[in-house]
Amino acid sequence: MSGSDPSYLVFPVERLMEFSQRTFEHFGVPQADARLAAEVLARSDLRGIDSHGVARLHTYFDMLQLGRINPRPHIKIIRQSPSTATVDGDNGLGLVVGPRANEIAMDKAAQVGTGWVSVCNSNHFGIAGYYVLEALRRDLIGWAMTNSTKLVAPLWGGERLLGTNPIAIAFPGLKEPPIVIDLATSACAYGKVEMAKRKSQPVPRGWIIDAAGNPSENPQDMIDGGALLPLGSFREMGGHKGYCLAAMVDILCCVLSGANWGPFAPPFALRQEIPSRSVGRGIGHFFGAMSIEAFIDPLEFKSQIDQWIAVFRQTKPQPGSPGVLIPGDPEREAEAVRSVEGIPLVLPVVEELRDISRQTGIPL
Amino acid sequence: MSGSDPSYLVFPVERLMEFSQRTFEHFGVPQADARLAAEVLARSDLRGIDSHGVARLHTYFDMLQLGRINPRPHIKIIRQSPSTATVDGDNGLGLVVGPRANEIAMDKAAQVGTGWVSVCNSNHFGIAGYYVLEALRRDLIGWAMTNSTKLVAPLWGGERLLGTNPIAIAFPGLKEPPIVIDLATSACAYGKVEMAKRKSQPVPRGWIIDAAGNPSENPQDMIDGGALLPLGSFREMGGHKGYCLAAMVDILCCVLSGANWGPFAPPFALRQEIPSRSVGRGIGHFFGAMSIEAFIDPLEFKSQIDQWIAVFRQTKPQPGSPGVLIPGDPEREAEAVRSVEGIPLVLPVVEELRDISRQTGIPL
């Protein structure tokens, strides 16, 4: 992770953010939107979620270049009630549609205690954790979910039908840092399968199935038309639960908003096939915001969260393990390091950024 | 499961319901509350969740007899906003406090689009699925969660700190039956460990740890001071995700309401130790209700749910598996059989009911 490791190059986060912003602007994304989108990506890189930061910039670049994403969307509320809204993202960048919809949820929470926004006609929105961190800035409990391109088989299914459909939620502490939960509902991330393939290593039984639907330990089997398994993997270990959670996310994000659910989510990367059928518009997200004082004295809540954290930190550790972490610890620690030392990018990602630079003339 | 199997006795559900109701009334629970509590238990038996139905009646009996549960609680809203409420259950039966709090959530959904109710000072509320089925009766999307006595270790922890903390949510179909999700956030149910012990069988690696915190396949190791593992089991298989989900439930149910979170949840069964420390009142629940029409035309929603179900039913099956189920299928099928054929009770449960009958004079 340092500048002397030849497999990485380290960039100050500000430089990457400026590069991302100018890349978005290159396609006519308005300056404020481009800045916002760049911030969402940078937050991912800062927090150590390398797969969702500038490593994805070339995909956004491709989608904008092909006109598959609308650089100047008219994002609008198509239905609402005092505590809810349905938002049509007009096929804009998810990195812009997501934050706007999340703001609507937060505004409603300030007015009537909670706000819940389902979003259709959007695109990849970055890390779910970004949105719940934004809610914390307004002293709210934030929720975020999204569907994504099919990668995961439902329990007992032999093919991809669901995305990795993450769930994020965050709770503020008083003196302690917040509890920040952000998890995909699959047994593992697709990136881990790709990494095992690059290293020619097997993957644990329970991560993937092959194209025939059989469990496999060969990462190539998943890539060649197999699927990820849901959290819990097999029936005996609770694979039905991961499937249920992914289904819940799919329905809240897509059926409730009018987006493409299940296997019909449009692809994000160019190499992915376009589904033969459309059942809605774009992909979908779901945001929630809850005012703490609508339930309990916020000071009391935060002081109990501090105690919760203290008790969980003091758990007797499992032998041979690092001991219990608080959700959000690893990402916060990454952010503390990277905001000072910069963002390490693997060379293939640097090469992708250089390609954007060559095509657009924006200096890296 | 038939009357001719000597290890079971079959009872009509009405008879069990009447017996439960009269048992609650025996302790001064008002008739309507006793009826409601009996209905919640019966719904569990009908749906095949044997562990949460009349099999638990003797525990409620014990708790009422010892004065640990208040038979005539004054359930009250202690804080509210248009879309939220915090309810103090006054140490009543969770089977009564839960339905009342859930109604408040549903009423608020009718008024402002959604309703969210966090509950403290309650007790065991039966199956989470009961509450979301009630929401369906009012054409709402229902959510239910509860904490429970500590049984589960957080990832990398060597001791019990969390309950099996279930999450339930349900979505109505148009012609299809609803999608009903109800899952514990542990890798397996405690009842499965007990059953393996009775049969002197090992349990799968990943279900439990022993008292020292090491993975074990001997069910007795968990019972003797070990713990269940969270959904996902180990780090590599996503055990941090099950831990995060259990933490989310714990905080929404308890920290947000002022109930006892984490390891401080009071015990339900008499044999369980009482925590040395109290950090709130009773155990906690969290209910949500969402008006569909606050987001989208309900007919459109339900017709898409029907299509969702059709697509998932048609998934290519995993070889050797029964193929993909829709969440709620097994419980609905059990209900169809049991509402006609009756509820099969294992003999130890029948013996417990007979014991109640002997002590109270209520005929079984």
**What is the structure's pLDDT at A301?**
98
Confidence of residue A1 (pLDDT cuts 50, 70, 90): very low
Task: Say how far apart CA A44 and CA A51 lie, in whole Å.
Answer: 8
Cβ distance B304 to A263 less than 8 Å, yes or no, reads no
Q: Is B149 at the interface with chain A, CB within 8 A?
A: no
Q: Is A1 at the interface with chain B, CB within 8 A?
A: no
Q: Are strands B114-122 and B84-88 parallel, antiparallel or unpaired?
A: parallel
Instruction: Enter the tokens of residue B360.
Output: 């109270």
Amino acid letter for position A343 = I
**In terms of residues, how long is chain B?**
364
Average pLDDT, chain A: 96
Average pLDDT over residues A145-155: 97
Q: Is A318 at the interface with chain B, CB within 8 A?
A: yes
Q: Is B276 at the interface with chain A, CB within 8 A?
A: no
Q: Is B165 at the interface with chain A, CB within 8 A?
A: no
Task: Say how far apart CA A28 and CA A19 lie, in whole Å.
Answer: 15
Cβ distance B316 to A157 less than 8 Å, yes or no, reads yes
Amino acid letter for position A272 = Q
pLDDT digits (tens, 9 = 90+) for A174-183: 999 999 999 9
DSSP conformational letter for A272: S
Rg, C-alpha atoms of chain A: 20
Cβ distance A255 to B327 less than 8 Å, yes or no, reads no
| Domains in chain B: ranges and CATH | 1-72+341-364 (1.10.1530.10), 73-184+238-314 (3.30.1370.60), 188-228 (3.30.60.50)
pLDDT digits (tens, 9 = 90+) for B80-101: 999 999 999 999 999 999 999 9
Select the residue from B201, B221, B318, B326 to test the A interface by mutation, using most A Cβ atoms within 10 A. Answer: B318
Q: Residues with Cβ < 8 Å from A350, sequence gap 6 or more?
A: A9
Q: Is A260 at the interface with chain B, CB within 8 A?
A: no
With contact defined as beta carbons under 8 Å apart, do B203 and A307 qualify? no
Instruction: Enter the tokens of residue B183.
Output: 């899952």
Can you tell me the ipTM of this complex? 0.97
**What is the structure's pLDDT at A2?**
46
With contact defined as beta carbons under 8 Å apart, do B345 and B8 qualify? yes
Distance from CA of A31 to the nearest CA of B (A): 31
Backbone angles phi, psi at A197, to 5 degrees: -65, -45
Distance of CA B24 to the CA centre of its chain: 19
B328: region left, alpha or beta (phi > 0 left; psi from -120 to 50 alpha): left
**What is the structure's pLDDT at A353?**
98
Q: Is B251 at the interface with chain A, CB within 8 A?
A: yes
Sheet of A208-209, strand order: A215-216, A208-209, A227-228
**Sheet strands (E) in chain A:** 8-11, 76-81, 84-88, 114-122, 140-146, 167-171, 179-183, 208-209, 215-216, 227-228, 283-291, 343-346
pLDDT digits (tens, 9 = 90+) for B187-237: 999 989 999 998 999 999 999 999 999 999 999 999 999 999 999 999 999
pLDDT digits (tens, 9 = 90+) for A264-273: 999 887 777 8
Average pLDDT over residues A42-71: 96
Task: Say how far apart CA A251 and CA B304 lie, in whole Å.
Answer: 9
Q: Is A256 at the interface with chain B, CB within 8 A?
A: yes
Cβ distance B318 to A292 less than 8 Å, yes or no, reads no
Amino acid letter for position B124 = H
Neighbours of B336 (CB within 10 A): 11
Closest Cβ–Cβ partner in B81, B250, B319 for A214: B319
DSSP conformational letter for B46: H
pLDDT digits (tens, 9 = 90+) for A284-311: 999 999 999 999 999 999 999 999 999 9
With contact defined as beta carbons under 8 Å apart, do B145 and B253 qualify? yes
Lowest-confidence range among A2-11, B99-108, B242-251? A2-11
**Among B residues 85-124, those touching chain A with beta carbons less than 8 Å apart:** 86, 112-114, 116, 118
Is the Cα torsion angle A85, A283, A211, B239 positive or negative in sign?
negative
Sheet of B179-183, strand order: B76-81, B84-88, B114-122, B283-291, B140-146, B167-171, B179-183
Distance from CA of B107 to the nearest CA of A (A): 13
Distance from CA of B86 to the nearest CA of A (A): 5
Contacts of A154 in chain B (CB under 8 A): 312, 315, 324
Confidence of residue A4 (pLDDT cuts 50, 70, 90): low
Average pLDDT over residues B123-135: 97
**pTM value surpassing 0.95:** yes
Cβ distance B157 to A315 less than 8 Å, yes or no, reads yes
In the predicted structure, residue A58 carries a pLDDT above the cut 90: yes
**What is the structure's pLDDT at B16?**
98
**What is the structure's pLDDT at A3?**
46
Q: Which residue of A has its CA nearest to B249?
A: A169
Cβ distance B241 to A327 less than 8 Å, yes or no, reads no
Cβ distance B237 to A237 less than 8 Å, yes or no, reads yes
Q: Is A184 at the interface with chain B, CB within 8 A?
A: yes
Burial of B137 (0-12, 13-18, 19+ CB in 10 A): exposed
Contacts of B136 in chain A (CB under 8 A): none
Closest Cβ–Cβ partner in B167, B262, B318 for A308: B262
With contact defined as beta carbons under 8 Å apart, do A318 and B158 qualify? yes
Q: Are strands B208-209 and B8-11 parallel, antiparallel or unpaired?
A: unpaired
**Among A residues 319-338, those touching chain B with beta carbons less than 8 Å apart:** 319, 321-325, 327
